Amino acid sequence: MQVKLTILGILYLLCFAPSNLMAQTTKESNPKNNLVIEGTVYDQSTRKPLEYASVALANNQLGTVTNVQGKFRLLVPEKYKESFIKISFIGYKTANYKISKITSQKKFWLPEDPRMLAEITFQGLKIATILKKAIATIPDNYYQKPYTTEGFYRSVSIKDNKEYIAIGEGAFEVYQTRPTRKNQVLMNKMRESRHNLFSRYFTPLFGTSTLLDFDIVNRPNKNQLLGKKGLKSHNFQVKAVKPYKDSKVYIITFDQKDSFEGVGYTGELWIDTKTFAFVYLDIALSSRGVKHYKVKMDKTWRLHFRDLGISYKLLSSRIRYYYKKIKDAYYLHQISSQSTQHHEHWGVYNFEKSTKADYLVTAYHFERTQPFSKKEVAKSRKWMQNQPSFFNDIKPDYWNAYNILLPEVSYADVAKQLKVANEVLKEKQLQKE
């Protein structure tokens, strides 16, 4: 039976499957055929590292981003050794490097783009016209033909801003087509670990806005901000027009209207002034909107949680979307999500949990226009029945064959701590019995 999943399904399977500790490999590229470029990207003037700076082949079809410390590692097929990579970041000049000359370089500097320092006074189209054009041109600006991507996903949850209680990461391939319900997923490699007590009922994305709720490509009709209701319940304003890469963008701010009593948002939209494509969205629940947010839950579960004395409250949520232009079309490149929730189980625990999730497309293969075979998809699903221990595969070179977002801490150590915590919890439960 052929398995068909949306990207939302991928994200759930990667990090929130029922198993406590898992890792699975279906296929893996040969790292010996790759050149390794790694280092740290800094602001040239402040000498501070830049998070989420883009590091990619000049054609934009293969790349990664820097982590919180500005660090990156990019695997490039040897056939591209005479090509260039470009390092870019919003508000900075793009730097180009010949691959064969930087295999040993460890520091990369980006100077500020002086064009970004002064805002351009906005004169021209009305805000309503800009938004109308941007929404109307979504079918023309974004991908039309099927293609395949490689991606990486990581989610981390921390209790009271100090104790890790869940980690999960995975590499996979997605066959992208329309309608999106026909998308397919091939699992390549994954691992996940969580604290049995604090992650028993609530996963990082449970009860919060899903990562694709605002994705204008995969869910344009379900976008909670740019739909008819969202447009009427928010105030939009063109803050400025600024240079962005080879074009200019309208920077539009928005916030929930005072008169609207419901779930509303605040943030920014960046819209290309020529194509009217959305290139960046920064969407957070407003301070008033979060008060109206209610967890979507089956009535049976709601009654069950009430009887158990379990309560949950979303305190904040922010999601950022980055789109990349390749040739004449735009493609989803990265999603970064952050949220904070309050959890309480009467007499057991009472804490706040902060969750960060990153979804990154590391390669685009436009020549791969055919669906995956049933055999490939079936093989990919075997990880559900055969899940080796996280600790059997916890080696320094675990991700060496893949482009990933580098970790900011040693998740191997975190996983070991979680294992110890689960063993202690199991022992206490046995003593009670």
Structural domain count of the chain: 1
Question: pLDDT confidence of 190, banded at 50, 70, 90?
Answer: confident
CA distance 255 to 235: 5
Answer whether residue 288 is part of any domain. Answer: no
* C-alpha distances out from residue 278 to 132, 252, 332, Å: 12, 11, 10
- 105 lies in some domain: yes
Please report, for the domain that includes residue 401, its CATH number: 2.60.40.10
140-149, 189-198, 298-307, 353-362: which has the minimum mean pLDDT? 298-307
How far is Cα 239 from Cα 254, in angstroms, rounded to an integer? 10
Residue 86, beta-bridge partner list:
56, 96
258-280 pLDDT, tens per residue? 999 999 999 999 999 999 999 99
- pLDDT given at position 88: 93
| Selected residue with higher pLDDT from 246 and 344 | 344
Tens digit of each residue's pLDDT (9 = 90 or more) over 68-120: 999 999 999 999 999 999 999 988 999 999 999 998 899 999 999 887 666 56
- Within a domain: 120: no
Residue 390's pLDDT is 54
Provide the pLDDT for residue 37: 94
Residue 16 lies in a domain: yes
pTM of the predicted structure, to 2 decimals = 0.88
- Token look-up 């947010």 returns 293
Strand, coil or helix: what is 108? strand
SS (H, E, C) 161-215: CCEEEEEEEEEEEEEECCCHHHCEEEEEEEEEEECCCCCCCCCCCCCCCCCCCCC
Enclosing H/E stretch for 136: helix 127-136
Judge whether 305 lies within some domain. Answer: no
Q: What is the DSSP string of 36-94?
A: EEEEEEEETTT--B-TT-EEEETTSSBEEE--TTSEEEEEEEGGGTTSEEEEE-TTB--
Q: DSSP assignment of 380-397, as one string?
A: HGGGGT----GGGG--TT
The confidence score (pLDDT) of residue 398 equals 84
Q: Which domain holds residue 95?
A: 7-111+148-202+366-432
Rounded (5°) CA angle 325-71-327? 10
Write phi, then psi, for 253 (nearest 5 degrees).
-95, 155
226 lies in a domain? Answer: no
- Euclidean distance between CA atoms 387 and 94, whole angstroms: 43
282 belongs to a structural domain: no
pLDDT of residue 381: 63
In a domain, 286, yes or no: no
The CA–CA distances, whole Å, from 229 to 130, 224, 234, 316 equal 17, 8, 9, 22
